[in-house]
Structure 1
Amino acid sequence: MKIGIFFGGTSREREISFAGGRTVFDNLDKALFQPVPIFVDSLGQFILLDWQFIYKGTIRDFYPPVSSQPPSLHHLQVYIESLGELSHDEKFEAIAKVGRKIDAEQLPLLMDFAFLALHGPGGEDGAIQGMLEWLGIPYSGSGILPSAFGIDKVAQKNLLKATGQPTPDFRVLTAEAWDYAAVGAGYLKSLVKQLGLPLVIKAPHQGSSLGISILKTEDPAAFEAAVQKALFRRKVARAEWTSLTQAAQVAWVRQLADIREGIGLPVVAVTGKAGHGAYFSIADIQQTTIYHPESLLNFLNLSFEEGADTVSLESTSGETQVLIESFVAGREFSCIVIENQHGDPLALPPTEIVKGEEMFDYRSKYLPGLARKVTPIDLPEDKIQEIRKACEKMFRTFGFQVYARLDGFYTPDGQIFLNDPNTTSGMLPASFFFHQAAEIGLNPSQFLTYLIRTSLAARQRGGLKPVQLKRQMQLLDEAVEARQSEATERIRVAVIMGGYSSERHISVESGRNIYEKLSSSAKYAPVPVFLTGSAQEHKLYVLPVNVMLKDNADDIREKIEHAEAGEAPHPILERIRREAGTITSTYAGQALAQPRRISFEELAQLADEVFIALHGRPGEDGALQVELEKLGLPYNGSGVASSSITINKFETNKRLREAGLLVAEHRMANKLEWQADAESFYRSLETQFPYPFIAKPADDGCSSAVKKIKNRAELEAFCQLIFRSEEDLLPAPAEVLHLGFKEEFPQKDAFLVETLISRDGAAHFLEVTGGLLTSYDEDGLLDIEVFEASEALATGEVLSLEEKFLAGEGQNITPARYDVDPVERQRISNEVKAVLRRVAEVLDIQGYARIDAFVRVRQEGEVEVLIIEVNSLPGMTPATCIFHQTALAGYTPYEFIDRILEFGKARTAKMVTQ
């Protein structure tokens, strides 16, 4: 079957949709389905996307193409709507760079079935469902009417009230009433009297906690800010704007243009004096539509220079209503409900969301480690059953089909409040969608197959092509049965993930991605293995799929500990697995097992080779490689000697400098020196390294605790944190360094100090990350293929872990923009690649690697490449930019992984014969 995957879209959740579409594309069983990627841009155009763009980190990394964009002084990335009113030819030209424009009537020629990974308006509201019905294309999920209900929170509330189901009390405020002061000064007081405090203020047609605020006090200014946020509006006063530095103004505009945290673009800008209690001023109003963030920056500066007191900004895709609810104090949960083989709702085990903030916001939902997800919710079995039955009842009430995600609260007095049902759940690898399906034994590939089959049945029941769909279901059933009985010899690959470093969560993301790429192939049979323990003792565990798909490394470790303590599976899980037994036996074929500890010797019996998906220590330091070589197990990445050097940034810099390569001035700063005389320690560093300089661990990967130190207070705070004796962070130093929520900061006995690499008068200056792949030529000599480097754009002072590895977070341009002239750009690129190749030769890098560097291009064309660090086991998350680079070289992610594994085998064979 040809499966059209619709992803991207017009909503504010388009980046999560883009990442989810990639997950579906990768995890569809290739023996049953042929994926057809249909990218929906933010103008609503359908694009048959060239495969290499599927693996970009964000939509803005490839679309609109750089060639279609006006120059941006501050390198601000945009969506296509920020290019203004485009002609037909301009739209066609932009699309032609990434794929082929598809008209709606062409869709039936491209696909047998549409899998909808779209979110929010334009994806979950019934619009595209109606179009597909018109075209006669069966599609996933709910039909037109339940989708329309599923997107409208006000309609949901009214239906729940009408059917007597518990829901928090609410009021609706219209934008019109707000704008024209139809609600007076006593409105907030009235709300508090009727609904109590806190108040939850929501945008009623958005998902993923966008446009939501919690008002804790009866504060008119805070209430106004919350209403503006829900309407996707922002007001800035002259005093606020002029108090910002130029860099802060750019950051303000960047944040406002962000569709997740800001209000997005285009905006209608209104200048003048705001009337009391009203959003718009009554006199001297000038309205301007602004599309591009650079234009917005210039507009704000000019408006305040010309005497405006305030500028009010309103998104052109904002809301016309605000939903105001009573706050529910309780335990938050999320539950996926699917249809069973008979078409009846079956609630999967509800997951409790344990968070550090009161609101489960966008970042907490999609970044691993920010919120803990406990499945099932920690309640007695009968109470969990009550939640499940309530969710199944809501599923029926709204007429949902195939699947839905229902969120709610369980209060201290035992009440269940359901709200915000979603007819399309987030489809990232560890989202609730796959996480809960894994608890009945289905991996992502198997679950997607089941949903396609169930969707065909739902569409047939709705009267869409009943005869044709019946035949289609029969053919799919036969293919699934044949797939289950296949007996193919596949290469067993142990994918080792996790670890105990500050990058353990990213390692799990990498490992899962490798597992999923290999499991959808005909060549490999991956075995998920989790590593935990300490530097003194590495503990290995074979994971069942439900444990592998826990939210993060800490959750996986906790499940392992429970299993080792002899805890039986939760009785509710046993019940649900029995209820889903027919589904599991049909699509998975075997029951779930418990995590099992294994020795390295047992690993060699389980696997033919190993893919190490660990980052930092252990994994990149050579210790694990020593154990694998003892057993003759081929592995990915560099050998023992090279790994032991590249894990140490100080030693790496030293070797590169000795070889004549450019690196930052550097030295180690030791805990013993600091403890002996802190003042002398600080003065010594300040004498050698003028502020600002870079401080970072010498033996951890990537961006863990990498900080730009700008003054003595930050230096003291950094030392206090990295040299601390207790595991918990010290609050005061953490505040000085502006550490984010749940940001990891390792404990070390020494750290690396480097001069800050700056532009130094260069005509072009950019940070790049370049990947490479090695192989053996016909003579058995090592051949190094260096890919086109990616230009990395940091929103903060240094690139964060999230920006490097997580979908929708990082901003990377591949290939890097060294120059606007294509010939000159390629000349510079070739020089950069030559330096990266030299780095690989000096350090004896093998397999593959990622090298980070700064590039200066002088006015006269001279190129300077300053190496930052080398990663011998680079992150392999779905969004990492190494996949963007390999795509340019013609390798799909699977082909790249396959070549890495093949090199490992060839190296082991070579070692045996020598």
Structure 2
Amino acid sequence: MRIGIFFGGQSREREISFAGGRTVYDNLNKSVFTAVPIFIDSKGHFILLDWQYIYKGTIRDFYPPVNSLPKSELPIQIYAESLRNISNEQWDKLISEVGRKINPSDFHKYIDFAFLSLHGPYGEDGNIQGILEWYGIPFSGAGILPSSIGISKIAQRQFLQQAGFEGPKSIILNKADWDIQPHEIIFQKLKDDIGLPLVIKAPHQGSSIGVSILDEDNLSRFERLIQKSFFELEITTSDWAQYSHEDKVGFIVKLVDIREGIGLPVIIEEEIIYTPNELLQYLNNSISSKKERILLKAIDSEDSLLIESFIEGKEFSCIVIQDENGRPIALPPTEIRKGKDVFDYRSKYLPGISRKITPINAPQDIIEKIRTKCSDLFKALQIDVYARIDGFITDSGKVFLNDPNTTSGMLPSSFFFHQAAEIGLNPSQFLSYIIRTSLQARLKTGKHHFELQKMIKQLDKALEGLKNEAQKKINVGVIMGGFSTERHISVESGRNIYEKLSSSEKYLPIPIFLSGNEDQHELYVLPINIMLKDNADDIKDKIKDYHIHPIIAQIKFESNEVTEKYVASSVTEFQKISYQDLPELIDVAFIALHGRPGEDGAVQAKLEKLNIPYNGSDVESSKITINKYDTNEILRNAGILVADHRLVYEEKWHSNHTTEIEAIEKQLRYPLIAKPADDGCSSAVKKIKNRTELEAFAGMMFRPKADFIEDLANILKLKKNEEFPQKNFFLLEELIEKKDAKYFLEITGGLLTHFQQDGSIEYEIFEPSEALAGGEVLSLEEKFLAGEGQNITPARYTPEHEHYKIVAEQVKNTLKKTAEVLNITGYARIDAFVRVYEDLSAETIIIEVNSLPGMTPATCIFHQTAINGYKPYDFIDKILSFGTEKMKKQTIAK
């Protein structure tokens, strides 16, 4: 069955939609479905997307194509709506670079079914559902009516009140009233009628975009939050005049972010500003004008806001599905424990910022009350297939429901998959359930009845056949977690590997969580519901106190018909194991660990003793590359450029503090880079600009206890919840700069190894990606998390396309030599800076080598492999096949 995955779109949630569409594309069972990616751009064009672009980190990494962008001095990517004066013919040409434009009337030529991974306006409001219904294409999820109600928070609130559901006090604030009435009068009325705190909501946005909480009696803050929800931003010319160039660029970066800023284009006094460059120029010119304030307005705004009273209580989210007979089953509601008042965009999608507790920590009767209320609302809105319903439970036991969503976020750790896992469905199986149940739901319309019945019968037959395939697969132990500061990214990588393999015809993945410490590794086989917890710490907590909650047992019983139909095979039992148990359990291991252990050879040594094949480099090579100082020394001795570097030891720092600082400052000048010398990438990597920051970094690294030292953390501008390791030594490096080069950029390059017929190793070096850091250094989020990083693949070494190959070959040769010198095998990622000179000679300065690179869905190594024709599954298959062949050769040699 050809499944058209509709993703992207015109809303502010397009990046989450894009990442969710990729999740669906990868997790559809390959034995049953053919995935057809249909990307919708921000101008509403339907594009049959070339599959390579699905694996870009963000939409802006590939669309609009780089060669269509206006020249810019600012390193800020834009969306298609910032292109001006583009004719239809030009749009067609632009689209042809990433795929093929198709019309709704031709959908039936390409797809049999539409899986909707769209969010917000044009995706959840009934628009796309109506188009698909008109052209006879069955689609996933709710129909037109519940979608049109579900998109509007104002319509929702009115419906909930009329249907007898309890809710907070609320008032609608119209834009027209806001523009003409005194703001202090509006504020006073809201305080009188609702009281503080106020919850201010943009009614047609999802993912908590345009949502704020005002908890203080402060008129100016009230005005700023109202403006934010109307997608307006005011700046004074005096403030702008005082900004440094870096501050101005930072302001525009935040403004361009459609999730948290107002986005581009913007309207200023009826003039439309399209690009970051134009905006910078306009604001700079405004300094000389007599205007005190400049108001920037988004092209797409809101006409009214919903303002509600704040509900004190536990926040939850509950997925409701239907059984085989169409009856709603509320899955176990998840409690959301936030790091701050609003469960905002970052809290929803970045692991570690908030915690998800499933089921919610409440008495059983309260959990049942929540489930009943959610099921009742599901029925009242006439929703089909599934929905996500959010709400609060107060201390007095009142249930307030406030946001029925007819399309849920579909990232790997989203509520959508998180709660389905509690009844034993992995993502691939849950997607099969959604498709089958959606076909059944479309029968209710009375349209295309015969064709739908035929599709359902064919799908049932295919699903039944899956149960026979499981016995013939290769068992892959996916080892994830660990105890380094990168353990959350490791879990993201491990889950991604698990999901890519679980939808394959060749492999049966078994999730294995590693915990403990360097002296004693602890291994646990995880059931799917534990693997899909929010992050490594949530998994560890579940392991410490593993039991099946009575509510979970009850819901499993209620949904038994569903799981029996869709679960061909999966790990359902929690089990503590040892390394010695692995030969009976797995055929090959995929180590999805980052930092220590994993990249240091410790796990590899255990597996080699058991003759279990594994991914990546061998023990000795891993021991070298985990140590950045040793790696630098070896590469420098081999004639490869690296940064000047120096180790700082705790004992020496404390005993000869002044002498040590003077020696550092004599060898290296500020600014410089400080980082752990023996851990994974981007963890505690900081740009140090002066002696105070150097002392703060050393103080944090050498602190006696794991707790943050607040004063030092503030000096280093550490984010809330940002982890910082404790080590007894760290590495300092010179800051690599442009110097007299014509072009200068940061890159990250992947590679894959193959055995040749004579047994020698061939290195396949991928086209590196150009990494654009949002801050002083590239962060963990920018490297690995969907929608965060900005990567351009292949890297733009020069503006002249004809010069690309000349420079690219030089860079790739250095990356290959680096891999050969360090005896890297399997696959790896190498980070570097590149200086390109007037004569097109290039210097590649190596800064880091990762023997087990991150394999999260958004990591740019998948952008690079796509250019060489490998889908992520193909790349993983190559890695596992190489590891298996390498172990056979080693066994024969013994």
TM bin (shorter chain): over 0.9
Secondary structure at the aligned position of 1:305 is classed as coil
Residue 233 of structure 1 aligns with an amino acid whose one-letter code is E
Matches within 5 A, 1:181-192: 182-192=181-191
Aligned pairs for 1:50-61 within 5 A: 50-61=50-61
Q: Is the 8 A contact 1:814 1:885 kept in 2?
A: yes
Distance of 1:475 and 1:905 partners within structure 2: 37
Which AA in structure 2 matches 1:475?
Answer: Q
Paired position in structure 1 for 2:805:
826
Alpha-carbon distance in 1 for matches of 2:703, 2:105: 64
Map of 2:258 onto structure 1:
259
Task: Report SS of the residue matched to 1:662.
Answer: coil
- What is the aligned length? 893
Separation in 1 of the partners of 2:766 and 2:234? 45
The equivalent residue for 1:391 is 374
What is the aligned partner in structure 2 of residue 269 from structure 1? 268
Shift in CA distance, 95/591, structure 1 to aligned 2, threshold 3 Å:
closer
Describe the superposition over 1:211-244 as per-residue Cα deviations: whole angstroms up to 9, x where unpaired.
Answer: 1111111211001100110011101101111111
Deviations 1:480-531 (A, max 9, x none): 1222244541111111011010101111111111111111111111111111
The aligned counterpart of 2:887 is: 908
Measure the CA separation in 1 of the matches of 2:394 and 2:658: 53
Q: 1:492 aligns with which of 442, 454, 475?
A: 475
Equivalent of 2:402 in 387, 397, 419: 419
CA distance in 2, matches of 1:912, 1:442: 38
The answer to whether residue 402 in structure 2 is matched with residue 403 in structure 1 is: no
Q: Does the Cα contact within 8 Å between 1:197 and 1:217 map onto a contact in 2?
A: yes
Shift of 1:589: 4.6
Structure 2 match to 1:110:
110
Identity level (%): 57
Corresponding residue for 2:634?
655
Corresponding residue for 1:439? Answer: 422
CA distance in 2, matches of 1:863, 1:190: 65
C-alpha displacement at 1:591, in angstroms? 8.3
Q: Is the 8 A contact 1:76 1:294 kept in 2?
A: no
Question: Do the aligned partners of 1:4 and 1:36 also contact (CA within 8 Å) in 2?
Answer: yes
Note the C-alpha offset of 1:859. Answer: 2.2
Q: Equivalents in 1 of 2:472, 2:434: separation in Å?
A: 28
Deviations 1:122-160 (A, max 9, x none): 100010011111111110111111001111000111111
Q: Which residue of 2 aligns with 1:713?
A: 692
Deviation of residue 5 (structure 1)? 0.4
Q: 3-state SS of the aligned residue for 1:642?
A: helix
Q: What per-residue deviation string (whole Å, max 9, x for no partner) do you get for residues 148-200 of structure 1?
A: 111100011111111221111111111111112x2552221121121111111
> Could you tell me which amino acid in structure 2 is paired with residue 262 of structure 1?
G
**Partner in structure 1 of residue 48 of structure 2:** 48
Counterpart-to-counterpart distance in 1, 2:641 and 2:621: 19
- Cα deviations by residue, 1:778-832 (Å, 9 ceiling, x for unpaired): 1111111111100000000000001000110010000000012222111101000
Q: Paired residue for 2:768?
A: 789
CA shift digits 1:694-718 (9 cap, x unpaired): 0000111110000001122211221
Match of 1:278 in 2: none
Gaps of 5+ in 1: 271-286
Query: What is the match of residue 149 of structure 2?
Result: 149
Question: Which residue in 2 is equivalent to 1:841?
Answer: 820
Q: 5 Å matches for 1:750-789?
A: 750-789=729-768
Instruction: Say whether the 8 Å CA contact 1:138–1:464 is kept in structure 2.
Output: no
- Of 278, 282, 289, which aligns to 1:306? 289
Distance 1:561 1:750 in 2: 32
Cα distance in structure 1, aligned partners of 2:447 and 2:592 = 45
After superposition, give the CA deviation of every residue in 1:275-323 in whole Å (9 maximum; x if it has no partner). xxxxxxxxxxxx2101111111111111222333221111011111111
Whether the aligned pair in 2 keeps the contact of 1:267 and 1:291 (CA below 8 Å) is yes
Question: What does 1:498-537 correspond to in 2, within 5 Å?
Answer: 498-537=481-520
Q: What is the distance in 1 between the residues matched to 2:753 and 2:113?
A: 40
The alignment partner of 1:338 has SS state of strand
Partner of 1:200: helix, strand, or coil? strand
Report if aligned partners of 2:74, 2:276 keep a CA contact under 8 Å in 1: no
Q: Deviations over 1:312-353 (max 9, x none)?
A: 111011111111110111111110011111111110000011
Aligned-pair RMSD on alpha carbons? Answer: 1.2
Equivalent position to 2:447, from 456, 464, 476: 464
Q: Where does 1:274-673 land on structure 2 (aligned, <5 Å)?
A: 287-486=270-469, 488-563=471-546, 568-589=547-568, 593-673=572-652
The aligned amino acid for 2:309 is: S
Give the aligned residue type for 2:223: E
Q: Tell me the amino acid that sits aligned with residue 594 of structure 2.
A: H
1:703 lines up with 2:686 in the alignment: no
Q: Residues 189 and 218 of structure 1 are in contact (CA less than 8 Å); yes or no, is this contact kept in structure 2?
A: no
Q: TM-score, normalized by length of structure 2?
A: 0.99
In 2: Cα distance, 1:380 partner to 1:892 partner: 46
1:229 aligns to what?
Answer: 228
Q: How many Å separate the matches in 1 of 2:122 and 2:158?
A: 22
Helix, strand or coil at the partner of 1:739: coil
Task: Give the CA deviation at 1:592.
Answer: 6.5
1:871 equivalent among 815, 838, 850: 850
Aligned partner (choices 745, 769, 779) of residue 800 of structure 1: 779
8 Å contact 1:198–1:326 — kept in the other structure? yes
**CA contact under 8 A between 1:4 and 1:35: conserved in structure 2?**
yes
1:743–1:184 CA distance, 2 compared to 1 (3 A): closer
TM-score normalised by L of structure 1? 0.97
Alpha-carbon distance in structure 1 between the residues aligned to 2:196 and 2:470? 62
Q: Distance in 2 between matches of 1:356 and 1:75?
A: 31
Deviations 1:824-863 (A, max 9, x none): 1111010000000010111111111000000001223221
- Identify the residue that residue 166 of structure 2 maps to in structure 1: 166
Unaligned runs of 5+ in 2: none
CA gap of 1:118–1:432, structure 2 versus 1, over 3 A, is same
Of residues 684-693 and 794-803 in structure 1, the stretch that sits farther from structure 2 once superposed is 684-693
- Give the secondary structure class of the aligned counterpart of 2:856: coil
Aligned residue for 1:811? 790
Question: Equivalent residue for 1:37?
Answer: 37
Question: Is 1:853 matched with 2:836?
Answer: no
Please state how far the C-alpha of 1:100 moved relative to its aligned partner.
Answer: 0.3
Shift of 1:590: 6.3
Among 860, 882, 886, the residue aligned to 2:861: 882
Out of 829-838 and 589-598, give the one that drifted further: 589-598
Compute the displacement of 1:687 (Å). Answer: 2.7
Q: CA 1:522 to 1:40, structure 2 compared with 1: closer, same or farther past 3 Å? A: same
Q: For residue 208 of structure 2, what is the aligned residue in structure 1?
A: 209
Q: How far has the Cα of 1:91 moved from its partner?
A: 0.6
What's 1:123 paired with? 123
In 2, the alpha carbon distance for the partners of 1:203 and 1:593 equals 42
Q: Tell me, in whole angstroms, the C-alpha distance in 2 between the residues paired with 1:246 and 1:234.
A: 19
For structure 1, which segment, 427-436 or 511-520, has the greater mean C-alpha deviation from structure 2 after superposition?
A: 511-520
The separation in 2 between residues aligned to 1:756 and 1:184, in whole angstroms, is 50
Which range moved further: 292-301 or 582-591? 582-591
Structure 2 CA distance for aligned equivalents of residues 459 and 51 of structure 1? 29
1:96 aligns with 2:96: yes
Q: Which residue of 2 aligns with 1:738?
A: 717
Give CA deviations for 1:242-292 in whole Å, capped at 9, x if unaligned. Answer: 11101110111111011011011111112xxxxxxxxxxxxxxxx210111
Contact preservation (8 Å) 2:3, 2:114:
yes
SS in 2 for 1:302: helix
Any idea what SS the aligned residue of 2:184 has? coil
